[in-house]
Structure 1
Amino acid sequence: MIASLNIKQVEKISKALGDPYRLKILKIISENQNFSKCCDISAEFNLAQSTMSHHIKQLVDADLLIAGKEGRNLKFVVNKEVCTAYVDYINSLVV
Structure 2
Amino acid sequence: MSNTKALPMLEPEAVAPCCPPLTERPLTAEEAERTAKMFKALGDPVRLRLFSLVASHEGGEACVCDISDVGVSQPTVSHHLKKLREAGLLTSERRGTWVYYKVAPSVLAAMGQLLTAAD
What TM-score results when the alignment is normalised by the length of structure 2?
0.65
Is residue 4 from structure 1 mapped to residue 18 from structure 2 by the alignment?
Answer: yes
**What residue number does 1:66 align with?**
91
What TM-score results when the alignment is normalised by the length of structure 1?
0.79
Question: Which of these residues, 64, 70, 92, is aligned with residue 38 of structure 1?
Answer: 64
Identity %: 30
**What residue number does 2:6 align with?**
none
Task: Please identify the structure whose Cα radius of gyration is greater.
Answer: 2
- What's the Cα RMSD here? 2.2
AA matched with 1:63: G
**Equivalences, count:** 91
Is residue 89 from structure 1 mapped to residue 114 from structure 2 by the alignment?
Answer: yes
AA matched with 1:69: R
Q: Secondary structure at the match of 2:47?
A: helix
Maintained 8 Å contact 2:50/2:70: no
Unaligned runs of 5+ in 1: none
Deviations 1:52-73 (A, max 9, x none): 1111111111111111121222
Runs of 4+ in 1 over 3 A off after TM superposition: none
1: CA distance between counterparts of 2:111 and 2:64?
24
More helix by share: 1
Query: Larger relative CO (CA 8 A, sep 6+): 1 or 2?
Result: 2
Maintained 8 Å contact 2:18/2:110: yes
